[in-house]
């Protein structure tokens, strides 16, 4: 595969870098004001505020190489905080399966970041086996609304969200993949309760959400009743591609090398240690291989194809690479990593390294556990069939 950048691509890269440099956050200014202005300036560049949206919906219509450049540069730049659920996950579903009224109703506020969304997928008994969702939605006798009862688990940013896109069970009579319906509804209403879950790393990002007689108008249903599993699979493929985080891992790996060079080991540094250096080299090779898979995925997307099973390869390898970077960071921190829960001691990166390592345990679980990704790869990439025994 030829990955040499053309003159046009090099010019585009410089334009991206210049935009990031010209619009860095000015220390001391109001962050939210800067954030709003940043996205507006990005929009004026021709859809840079929604880089993955198609041109028909206001996106930039970039080539695969331009997308690749953008991902590389954003990993190094200081960009405004941006939740992925609206722009990166729900929006493609609305574009593909929502009706025109829903697109006009929801996409502008998603693009402007005026409305925050969360994803109501996983449940206590429906995590990796997502098709096992039990949250029930019952259509009213007059067919104008659904009544939703049940709960969701590990709902990221539910405590910050204005709306939720939610998988619900409308029919339990057939196979579990059928009878799932995709609904949208506000979080700030009677019957919705959010309880925090504090993760191993000590942060509050995920929640339990409970629904009690939540009334959802039928016009908030995406597509047909009972076809939600089809829409959910499409969304998961977009999500898994994003969760791979390869561009971020490239930057994190370079940072890891710098940190290792700051650790004294004998007459040299930790990066001079053959055993540690071999682990870093192996990680770098795996990351390079994953990059090529990402490039092939981008090339496919440029033809109009939706994300396919290669998203499972990216998610599987990308999240494992992220975990390995965190593990090597803890190893570099040595005994000082054990003091992560108190004041920093010794090496300045050790405390954050341990916190990152603990948080990274979830990387190979959310968005579909690694076991699920291997099943998808075996079936849809390798063409293997399940044993009849």
Percent of the chain exceeding pLDDT 70 equals 92
- The pLDDT of residue 119 is above 50: yes
Q: Measuring CA to CA, which residue among 260, 310, 256 is closest to residue 284? A: 256
User: Average pLDDT for residues 303-325, to the nearest whole number?
Assistant: 81
Retrieve residue 273's tokens.
């240690």
**Alpha carbon 67 to chain centroid distance?**
16
Q: How confident is the model at residue 242 (pLDDT cuts 50, 70, 90)?
A: low
For residue 196, the cross-strand partners are 207
- On the CB side of 336, CA atoms within 13 Å amount to 15
Domain positions in the chain? 7-82, 115-227, 244-380
> Cβ contacts of residue 186 below 8 Å, gap of 6+?
162, 163, 164, 192
DSSP 65-99: HHHHHHHHHHHHS-PPP--HIIIIIIHHHHHHHS-
* Reported confidence tier of residue 278, pLDDT bands at 50, 70, 90: very high
| Residue 1 confidence class, pLDDT cut points 50, 70, 90 | very low
Class of domain 115-227: mainly beta
* Pairing of the two strands 145-152 and 117-120: unpaired
Q: How many alpha carbons fall within 13 Å on the CB side of residue 239?
A: 22
The pTM for the full model equals 0.83
Predicted local confidence at residue 389, as pLDDT: 56
Higher pLDDT, 13 or 125: 13
**Mean pLDDT score of the chain:** 89
Q: Which fold has domain 244-380?
A: Butyryl-CoA Dehydrogenase, subunit A; domain 3 (1.20.140)
């Amino acid at each position: 595969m030829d990955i040499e950048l053309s003159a046009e691509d090099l010019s585009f890269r410089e334009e991206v870098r210049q935009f990031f440099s010209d619009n860095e956050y000015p220390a001391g200014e109001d962050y939210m004001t800067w954030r709003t202005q940043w996205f507006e300036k990005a929009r004026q560049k021709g859809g840079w505020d929604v880089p993955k949206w198609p041109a028909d919906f206001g996106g930039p219509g970039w080539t695969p190489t331009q997308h690749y450049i953008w991902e590389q540069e954003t990993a190094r730049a200081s960009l405004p905080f941006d939740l992925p659920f609206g722009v990166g996950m729900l929006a493609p579903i609305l574009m593909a399966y929502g009706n025109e009224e829903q697109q006009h109703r929801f996409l502008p506020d998603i693009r402007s970041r005026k409305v925050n969304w969360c994803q109501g997928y996983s449940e206590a008994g429906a995590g990796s086996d997502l098709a096992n969702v039990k949250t029930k939605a019952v259509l009213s006798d007059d067919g104008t609304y659904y009544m939703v009862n049940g709960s969701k688990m590990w709902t990221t940013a539910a405590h910050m969200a204005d709306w939720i896109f939610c998988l619900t069970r409308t029919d339990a009579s057939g196979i579990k993949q059928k009878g799932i319906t995709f609904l949208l509804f506000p979080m700030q209403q009677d019957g919705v309760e959010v309880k925090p879950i504090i993760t191993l790393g000590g942060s509050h990002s995920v929640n339990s959400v409970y629904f009690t007689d939540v009334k959802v108008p039928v016009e908030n249903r995406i597509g047909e009743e009972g076809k939600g599993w089809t829409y959910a699979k499409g969304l998961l493929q977009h999500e898994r591609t994003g969760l791979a985080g390869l561009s971020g891992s490239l930057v994190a790996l370079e940072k890891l090398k710098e940190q290792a060079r700051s650790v004294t080991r004998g007459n040299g540094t930790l990066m001079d240690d053959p055993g540690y250096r071999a682990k870093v080299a192996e990680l770098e090779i795996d990351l390079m291989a994953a990059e090529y898979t990402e490039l092939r995925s981008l090339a496919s997307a440029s033809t109009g194809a939706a994300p396919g099973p290669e998203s499972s390869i990216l998610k599987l390898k990308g999240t494992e690479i992220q975990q390995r970077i965190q593990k090597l960071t803890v190893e570099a921190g040595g005994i000082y990593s054990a003091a992560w829960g108190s004041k920093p001691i010794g090496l300045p990166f050790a405390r954050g390294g341990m916190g990152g390592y603990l948080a990274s345990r979830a990387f190979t679980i959310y968005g579909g556990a690694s076991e699920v990704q291997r099943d998808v790869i075996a079936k849809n990439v390798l063409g293997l069939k399940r044993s009849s025994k």
